[in-house]
Chain A
Amino acid sequence: MYGYIVPQKSTMSASDFVLYRSFYCGVCCETGRMYGQLPRFTTNYDFAFLSALLHDYGQANVVIEERPCVLNPKKKAILQSNELLKRIAAANIILCYQKADDGVVDGDGLKYRALRRMLRKPCKLAQSICPEVWERVKRSVKEQSAVEKSKTSSIDRAADPFASLMRDLPELILGVQTDDNLKSLCYNVGKFVYLADALDDLVDDRKHKRYNPFLLSMGEFKDRACFIKANREQLEFIFNGICGRAEECFSRMRFTQSYSLIRNIVFGGMRSKAKELLDSTKKLKPPRI
């Protein structure tokens, strides 16, 4: 599900790239420090974005230090550990554990069992750091399950549980009330992630007879290319709408050190990812930034 909220590297400045990577590496290092080496593989670009967003919104102390990394012996700019980063890493572990659990319940294979087993102990520790995130994620799982059981063909209704979780996550991580603009921005980002994943997984979901709101609402499926071509206008409407609302919310917010980075992701990254999904004839490969 992760890797859909990425920057548009071609239009990104060198300093923003370093800043972005320091947030990404920050999540990775913090996860390694708190939970061990294996869970570091749960680091993802979507949480790097969330880290940048929350550090700026919460006016947290962003100290970037140059240290070597085990995967890259040259020194790299990495975000220094702080309380907010600990909570972000914990939230990521909880979400990844939940995704692995979903995979096991859906019968998606041994790899999800192994992942769930690996993340069990880290998740317990993460729960003790952010119990309210754990409770909120559990509620979201129940809501998602109810929506999928009802086999709703409404795209908005299908995306609502995950989008609502993303909307509430910043408040639970930061521990302060957030304003409507941040809530709406995160709601639309969450909706984008859910629907991008559903669009990416069209073929797999059809093959394994899994719930997919696009398959239920948009007519016959022969192959991915034909399906997208037949429903292009409606799909563009959906994704443009989400990106438009995210941009609107961004424009009403005030950012400081990460302004141009977050702007690049919201204005450039999201739209180009949507276009990539619609133009692709098969499932996207994981991005490499």
Chain B
Amino acid sequence: MKDPYAVLGLDKSSSPEKLKSKYEELHEIYSEQRFKSGEEGNEGARKLQELEEAWVVISANIEQESRTSAFDGDFGNVDSLIRQGKYNEAQDILDSIQDRKGEWHYMQAIVFYKREWLTEAKTQLEMALREDPNNPKYRSSLDKLNLSMSGNGARNQMPNNGQTGNYGGYNNGQPPYGENGNYPPQQQPADNMANCLSSCCCAYCLTDCLCNAMRCC
């Protein structure tokens, strides 16, 4: 495949602005040329396609470079690890950095956010802003986080009241008869446990028999 930069007549060291303006210039020329008749039209169409394919590669390179240059040194590594989903390794690098200014807190907030630790992420963003109050990146991140946690997704809902009763004996362990654990008053306390156990056994056997008879489970 032809070198994409050569298609534009420039080289890799050219600035993104120069590359873009050359692309737009050539795009206009070839777009007009392809509507001409004969060989000239065909040539225009071929060059336009070549230009588009080259631009896909060049714009991807420009984006990649802008991403990596956004953070330098250790933070660049942290950023790269976060993008790969390696949050433990990213956290290890952050833990090893002693100088903890605004950018450190910002990166820590991102790691916490990716881990779903939203309260910790908010704390870190607030600390980043305390270090650098005028930073628009920190401010907009905190505003977005606050917005997503403000309950704007909630709609008016009726409170889930009045739903009482047992849902299985796992939590309350009450006997299967009698309400709120009140045993029939005429029984002596010493007999209560025995009666409870025998009633549980009866309930168990009854359930088992019923299940087998009804063949329901």
Which A residues fall within an 8 A CB radius of B? 2-3, 6, 8-11, 28-29, 32-33, 36-38, 40-45, 67-70, 78, 96, 111, 114-115, 154-157, 160, 163, 180, 184, 187-188, 191, 236-238, 240-245, 247-248, 267-269, 271-273, 275-276, 279, 285-289
9 closest A-B pairs by beta carbon, nearest first, are A156-B117, A241-B149, A240-B151, A29-B217, A111-B173, A241-B118, A288-B165, A41-B168, A41-B169
B-side contacts of A267, CB under 8 Å: 153, 155
Q: Does B57 make an interface contact (CB < 8 A)?
A: no
Contact B116 A187 (CB under 8 A): yes
Question: Closest approach, in angstroms, between the C-beta of B132 and any C-beta of chain A?
Answer: 23
Q: Which residue of A lies closest to B120 (CB)?
A: A156
Contact B211 A37 (CB under 8 A): yes
Mark B161-177 against chain A: 1 for CB-CB distance below 8 A, else 0: 10111111111110000
* Known A111-B173, A156-B120, A184-B116; contact A45-B151, beta-carbon cutoff 8 A: no
A-B contact pairs, 27 of them (CB 8 A): A9-B163, A10-B158, A11-B157, A37-B207, A37-B208, A41-B169, A42-B168, A44-B167, A45-B167, A70-B210, A115-B173, A156-B115, A156-B117, A160-B115, A180-B85, A240-B149, A240-B154, A241-B119, A244-B148, A245-B116, A268-B157, A271-B154, A276-B161, A286-B166, A287-B167, A288-B166, A289-B163
Contact A237 B149 (CB under 8 A): yes
Q: Which residue of A lies closest to B150 (CB)?
A: A240
Contact A69 B167 (CB under 8 A): no
Contact A68 B216 (CB under 8 A): yes
Q: Which residue of A lies closest to B145 (CB)?
A: A241
Contact B116 A44 (CB under 8 A): no
Q: Is the interface of B mostly helix, strand, loop or mixed?
A: loop
* Cα-based distance from A271 to B169 in the complex (angstroms): 26
* Known A37-B208, A272-B159; contact A238-B119, beta-carbon cutoff 8 A: yes
Q: Does B160 make an interface contact (CB < 8 A)?
A: yes
Q: Which of B153, B154, B170, B214 contacts A68 (CB 8 A)?
A: B214
A-side contacts of B165, CB under 8 Å: 285-286, 288
* Cα-based distance from A275 to B168 in the complex (angstroms): 24
Contact A288 B153 (CB under 8 A): no
A-side contacts of B112, CB under 8 Å: 156
B17-49 CB contacts (< 8 Å) to partner A = none
B194-217 CB contacts (< 8 Å) to partner A = 204, 207-208, 210-211, 214, 216-217
A-side contacts of B168, CB under 8 Å: 40-44
Question: Closest approach, in angstroms, between the C-beta of A42 and any C-beta of chain B?
Answer: 5
Interface size on B, residues (CB 8 A): 40
Contact B211 A70 (CB under 8 A): yes
* Cα-based distance from A187 to B118 in the complex (angstroms): 12
Contact A191 B160 (CB under 8 A): no
Contact A188 B160 (CB under 8 A): no
B-side contacts of A238, CB under 8 Å: 118-119
Given contacts A156-B117, A268-B155, 6 further A-B contacts (CB under 8 A): A37-B207, A96-B170, A154-B120, A237-B122, A245-B116, A288-B167
Question: Closest approach, in angstroms, between the C-beta of A31 and any C-beta of chain B?
Answer: 9
Q: Which of B85, B150, B164 contacts A288 (CB 8 A)?
A: B164
B-side contacts of A67, CB under 8 Å: 214, 216-217
* Cα-based distance from A202 to B122 in the complex (angstroms): 24
Contact A156 B118 (CB under 8 A): yes
* Known A32-B211, A273-B160, A288-B164; contact A69-B216, beta-carbon cutoff 8 A: yes
Q: Which residue of B lies closest to A37 (CB)?
A: B207
Q: Which residue of B lies closest to A247 (CB)?
A: B153
Q: Which of A3, A245, A247, A275 contacts B167 (CB 8 A)?
A: A3
Q: Which residue of A lies closest to B217 (CB)?
A: A29
Q: Which residue of A lies closest to B161 (CB)?
A: A276
